[in-house]
Structure 1
Amino acid sequence: MNNKDDYKVNEEIRDALWKNADRGQDIFGEIKFRKNNKRIYFKALLKVILFMMIAALSGGITANYVISKGESQKNISGDLTQSKLEENNKAIYANSISDVIRKVSPTVVGISVKVEGVEGTPELSGSGIIFKSEGFIITNYHIIENATEINVKLSNYKVLKAKVIGTDAISDLAVIKVEASNLPVAKLGDSSKVNVGDLAIAIGNPIGEQFSGVVTSGIISALDRKINIVDKKTGEQTIYKVIQTDADINQGNSGGALCNINGEVIGVNSLKIGSASEVSGVSFAININVAKEIISDLMTYGKVIRPAIGIYGVPAISVGNNGIEGVYVQEVVSDSGADIAGIIPTDIITQVGGVGVKNMEELSNVLDKYKVAKSVHCNVQRNGKVKDVSIILSELKATNEP
C-alpha cells in the first residue's frame, strides 16, 4: 500500500474516532467520557429544594383559601352573623332564667302569719327558702316577728303549720320548720364569687292563688353595700353588709331567694333592709355566706351568739378629742365586761386585741373573731393617759331579747 492509500485509511480511522468521541465512547465503545458529577448533583439538589418550597407554599395558600371559603360560607348561611348571635344570646338569656325558675321555684315557699291582737284574715307576709329536706326553712325575721301562728304554703299548694327554730333580729333572719320530709332543697351558692353585673333573679312565692310565684330579674348592682337601719323601739343602729340589685324585691319575694344564673342562692331577699332606700330599682339581699353562719347558730342555739364588751360609742373624732382616733364611750352596759373592767363614759378605746379601731363597726369586726367569755386586751385613753385593760366578753343581746 502506498503512502496515499495509507493517508486515506488514517483519515477514515480519525473520523470514526471523533464520531465515537461525540457519542461519549472511544473506538472500542466501552469507555465513556465523564462530565463534572458534582455540578450535576448540586443542580439536581437545587431543583428538589425549589420544588419542595413551591409545593409547601402552594399547599399553604390552598389550605388558607379553603378555610376562608368555609368561614365565609358559614357567614353567608347566617350561622355567625351579628344578628344571629344577638338572637341566640337573647334566647340563651331567656332560657337560662326559665331554667333557674324551674330549678329554684319548688324550693321557695309562701309564709303567712297571725299576729297577736290582729283579728281577721292574715296578711300575705312573704317567702322562705327550704334548705333542708326535713322541712327547715330560712326566712326574714320581720316576716314572723310577733307571730302567734305561722302557715307555710309549698309549691304544690299544700299548706303546713310551722314552728320557730331560731331568730336573729340584727340580721333579719329566722329559721322555721314544717313537719315534712323529702322536700326539694335549694342549693346555697358562694356569694364571694358574685361579681357586679352578674344576672340576678329574685324568686318569691306569696300566699294567694293569683300571686303564686313572683319572679323579678336584673343584675348585681353592688357588693358589700352598707345599709344602716335604726330600730324604732330602741334607737339602736345596725349596719348591714348586703348585695344590691335592681331586681324588684317586694312583699311577695321578701324572704325568698336571690339566685345567680346557675340557680344557686346567693342572697336572702329582705324588704326591711330595702325599705331603707326610697330609690326605685334599688333592692337588697342578705349575703348568703353571712346567712350560712347565722343559720348554723340558729339551728344550734336558736339565736346568734355575738361577743360584746358592753358599751355604746361613737368615733372619737366626731366629738373632738385632740385628734385621737378610737371609739368614744358614751354609755357602759351595767354588769357587762366593760363595766366590770372599769371602763367609764368619756374613755376612748383605741385598740382591741392589738388592732386599732376607729368606730363601733371596726370594734365589732374585731370582736367577731373571739368567743363569748374570752378575755380581750384593750388600750384605753383616759385623761391623756393610756391604760391597758382586759375585758371579759359577754353576749350581745339582740333587740328582740329581754
Structure 2
Amino acid sequence: MIKNIRAFIAVVLISALIGALSATFVTTKIIYGERQKPVEPPEKTQTFTVKEAPIPDIAREITPAVVGVVTIYIDYDFFFRRVESQSIGSGIIVDKNGYILTNAHVVEGSNRIMVYLYDGRKFKAKKIYEDGELDLAVIKIDADNLTAARLGDSDKVVVGDRAIAIGNPLGLTLQRTVTAGIISALNRTIAVGTQKSMTLIQDLIQTDASINPGNSGGPLLNGKGEVIGINTVKATEAEAIGFAIPINIAKPIINKIIEKGGFEKPYIGVECIDREMARLFNIDVPVDGGIYIVKVHKDSPAQKAGIRQGDIVLNINGEKLTKVSQMRKVLYTLEPGQKVKIVLMRGNDKITTEVIIGKE
C-alpha cells in the first residue's frame, strides 16, 4: 500500500513538472543523466578512423551560418508611453532559403525579431514555429547568398566526443564566439524556471564547452563541423556545465517546414518519462527499454485507443524506444490523421494498439 502511495505521489509530481510550460529560465536544476555502464579496459589502445577537422577550419566554415537574433518587446509605462526593450540570442541557418533554428525562449513574446548576419546585413524575421516544451523555434528571413550549416546525427554522439559551441555570449559585442570542449554526458534531464513555473526538458546533451547568456539558440558542433545540437541553457550553480537539444529532434520539424512552409505538431496525448527517471521516483519499470506513461490526456487519441497511465511504450511503428526524444522523432515524421502502431507493456501483458494522430 505504501509503495502504491509513493508511486502515485511521484506520478503527480512528475506530471506537474511536465505540464508547466511557461518557463522563465531563471534557474536550472539537473535532475539526472544517463547511467554509464562500466566497460572493461581494452588490452591495447584502440584506433579510431573518424577524421576530425581542425577547430579553425570548422569555425571558418560554420561561422557565416551563425546569426544574432535580437528580439524587441514593446510595453507601456505608467503614463502610457511606449517603451521598447530587447534581448539577444543566437541562431543557426539551416536552409539557404532563410530558415533559422533557435530557442523558443529567445523569441517568445516578442513584438519584432531582427536577424544580424555575419556579413553585416540585418533583416526582419518572421516566426514560423515555436514550441516552449522543446525550447525550439524556427524563424525565416528573406535574404540571398546565405550559408547553411550541415546537420549531423545526434544519435551517434558518444561521451568524450569533441564539442564546439558558437554563439553570441553577452550580446552582439562578443558575437560568434567559439568555445570548445567535449560531450560530457547524454540523456540529461533538467528543470528550468522558477519554483512557481517549472519546465522539464529531457534527453539533452551535456557539454563543458562554454555556454553563456546569448549563446542560446546557437549550434553545438561535432569534430566534423556538423550541427549535433542547439544550445539551450547552462547550469547556474556550476561552471562548465551546458546543455543542448539534440538536432535529431529538430530535423523532422525543419524538413516539414522547408517542404510545406509550416509544421503541425502531431499529438497523441501522453506525457512520458524514460525508465531511469521512473526509477528515480521509485516507479517499477519491469522491462528493459521503453518509456513510462505518466499521464494520458482526457479525450486524446491515446485515451480513445485504450492507452492508460502506467503503460510502458516499447515501440512505435516498429522502432524500439528507450528515450522520449525517440518517440518525438517518430511522431514528428507523421501527419495528423495517420495511424501509428504502438506496442505497450501493461503489467505482464504485451499489447498492440493503433492510434490516429491528432494535432495540437
Task: Select the residue among 218, 224, 227 that pairs with 2:189.
Answer: 227
CA deviations on 1:288-342 (whole Å, 9 max, x unpaired) are: 2332223224444633633424578998986889x98899977653322344456
Q: How does 1:186-335 map to 2 (within 5 A)?
A: 186-205=149-168, 210-222=173-185, 224-229=186-191, 238-271=200-233, 274-275=234-235, 278-299=237-258, 300=260, 302-303=262-263, 305-310=265-270, 332-335=296-299
Return the letter of the residue paired with 1:185: A
Larger CA Rg, structure 1 vs 2 = 1
Mapped contact 1:110–1:207 kept (Cα < 8 A): no
C-alpha spacing 1:157/1:268, structure 2 compared with 1 (3 Å): same
Point out the more displaced range, 359-368 or 371-380: 359-368
Q: How does 1:45-60 map to 2 (within 5 A)?
A: none
Alignment of 1:110 with 2:72, yes or no, is no
Alignment of 1:336 with 2:310, yes or no, is no
Tell me the CA shift for residue 246 of structure 1: 0.6
Mapped partners of 1:256, 1:370: distance in 2: 24
Q: What SS does the aligned partner of 2:75 have?
A: coil
Mapped contact 1:307–1:367 kept (Cα < 8 A): no
Mapped partners of 1:210, 1:365: distance in 2: 37
Mapped partners of 1:166, 1:213: distance in 2: 24
CA deviations on 1:213-254 (whole Å, 9 max, x unpaired) are: 3222222212x3221336769978544222211111112322
C-alpha spacing 1:144/1:370, structure 2 compared with 1 (3 Å): closer
CA deviations on 1:109-162 (whole Å, 9 max, x unpaired) are: 101111253764533321111122222211111100111100011112222100
Mapped partners of 1:228, 1:208: distance in 2: 25
Tell me the CA shift for residue 262 of structure 1: 3.3
Mapped partners of 2:139, 2:351: distance in 1: 44
Task: Select the residue among 72, 94, 107 that pairs with 1:144.
Answer: 107
C-alpha spacing 1:232/1:204, structure 2 compared with 1 (3 Å): same
C-alpha spacing 1:207/1:340, structure 2 compared with 1 (3 Å): same
Instruction: Report the counterpart of residue 4 of structure 2 in structure 1.
Output: none
TM-score (norm 1): 0.58
Task: Select the residue among 97, 105, 108 that pairs with 2:55.
Answer: 97
Structure 2: runs of 5+ lacking an equivalent:
1-51, 77-81
Q: What SS does the aligned partner of 1:122 have?
A: strand
The alignment of Structure 1 onto Structure 2 pairs a total of residues equal to 295
C-alpha spacing 1:171/1:259, structure 2 compared with 1 (3 Å): same
Q: What SS does the aligned partner of 1:179 have?
A: coil
Mapped partners of 2:329, 2:151: distance in 1: 27
Mapped contact 1:198–1:220 kept (Cα < 8 A): yes
Return the letter of the residue paired with 2:188: K
Mapped contact 2:230–2:246 kept (Cα < 8 A): yes
Structure 1 or 2: larger strand share?
A: 2
Q: What RMSD over aligned residues (CA atoms) do the two structures have, in Å?
A: 4.4
Q: What SS does the aligned partner of 2:213 have?
A: coil
Mapped contact 2:101–2:137 kept (Cα < 8 A): yes
Structure 1: runs of 5+ lacking an equivalent:
1-92, 398-402
Mapped contact 1:309–1:392 kept (Cα < 8 A): no
Mapped contact 2:313–2:343 kept (Cα < 8 A): yes
Instruction: Report the counterpart of residue 36 of structure 1 in structure 2.
Output: none
Tell me the CA shift for residue 169 of structure 1: 2.2
Mapped contact 2:187–2:205 kept (Cα < 8 A): yes
C-alpha spacing 1:234/1:391, structure 2 compared with 1 (3 Å): farther
Return the letter of the residue paired with 1:264: E
Mapped contact 1:353–1:366 kept (Cα < 8 A): no
Mapped partners of 2:195, 2:264: distance in 1: 20
Mapped partners of 1:228, 1:207: distance in 2: 23
Q: Tell me which of the two structures has the higher relative contact order, counting C-alpha pairs closer than 8 angstroms and 6 or more residues apart.
A: 2
Q: How does 1:17-166 map to 2 (within 5 A)?
A: 96-117=54-75, 120-166=83-129
